[in-house]
Amino acid sequence: MSHPDIHIAHADNITTITIDRQRRKNACTAEMFTALRDAFRDIADAPTRVVVLTGAGGDFCAGADVGPAEEDPSVPAQPQRHRIDHMRDIADTVMAIHDCPRPVIAKVDGVAVGAGFGIALAADLIWCSSRARFSLIFAKRGLSLDFGTSWLLPKRIGLHEAKRLALTGEIINADRAVELGIVNAAVDAAELDTEVADMAARIAAGPPIALASTKRLLNNASSISLFQALEAEGLSQALNFSTADTNEALAAFVEKRDPVFKGA
């Protein structure tokens, strides 16, 4: 499913997905969440090596749109469904982002609140601008956590700090997000695009098969034993030694040059 407010662009082995609904600070409708899910599922089969996920117009995402519905003639009307079905659709979107075989960088400017915060947390890395603001705003809306934030945030910052943010709905700035370990870095807004582009290019130059395995190993590490992790590492490494990229890396090491990886 495509959507007019979800833009997808490809360049230099990097896919950029932009949430663009600026009139609502990029708050997402159910259809937009579905389009995000489908975009990330499609990336698994696309010739791309890194995904940059961002928002347009100076904001990342104000979460799920709980305001008055807008009639959009470009989006087909959807049949009425129970709320639990919508929540399961959202769960599918979280999994599609989190389990995307390509590394995902969230580029956050402005607000990332509620499900928007969850979207960022589902990525592998987060770069934000100095004017970014984050909040688990659910409590202020009479809601409990969703978009995977109850699972993702404690793993990032620990249980006690996660409870504080969740139970108060506190809005934190970029400096506090760095201090807590929510984001990898905060930079001036004017430098955000360049910083993220540089990081995306560095990752895109790496070995895609090996990096996909590394991402999965790290994602699974907290839910398996050391023995299971060692076995998974062994299987991944055995696969790597059968690839042309590992042969290229070994040859480049001997020849004292930079390897050129092709994802094969």
pTM to 2 decimals?
0.91
The DSSP H or E segment spanning 251 is helix 244-255
Q: How many CB atoms lie within 10 A of CB 146?
A: 18
pLDDT, one tens digit per residue, over 242-263 is 999 999 999 999 999 999 999 8
- What confidence score (pLDDT) does residue 72 get? 56
Lowest mean pLDDT among 73-82, 95-104, 192-201, 231-240: 73-82
Lowest mean pLDDT among 40-44, 102-106, 128-132: 40-44
Percent of the chain at pLDDT exceeding 70: 95
- What confidence score (pLDDT) does residue 28 get? 95
- Please state, in angstroms and rounded to a whole number, the distance separating the CA atoms of residues 177 and 196: 17
Domains and CATH numbers, the chain: 6-204 (3.90.226.10), 208-255 (1.10.12)
- What confidence score (pLDDT) does residue 81 get? 73
For the cut 90, the answer to whether the pLDDT of residue 74 exceeds it is no
pLDDT, one tens digit per residue, over 159-168 is 999 999 999 9
- Please state, in angstroms and rounded to a whole number, the distance separating the CA atoms of residues 173 and 251: 46
Eight-class DSSP state of 64: B
pLDDT, one tens digit per residue, over 176-232 is 999 999 999 999 999 999 999 999 999 999 999 999 999 999 999 989 999 999 999
Give residue for tokens 């040059």: 257
- Please state, in angstroms and rounded to a whole number, the distance separating the CA atoms of residues 44 and 60: 23
Partners of 134 in the beta sheet?
Answer: 112, 172
- DSSP codes, 165-180: HHHH--EEEHHHHHHH
Q: How many CB atoms lie within 10 A of CB 184?
A: 16
Q: Which of 15, 106, 14 is nearest to 53 (CA)?
A: 106
Contact 196, 60 (CB under 8 A): no
- Please state, in angstroms and rounded to a whole number, the distance separating the CA atoms of residues 118 and 61: 10
Question: Which 3 state secondary structure label does DSSP give 52?
Answer: strand
- Please state, rounded to an integer, the average pLDDT across all residues of the chain: 93
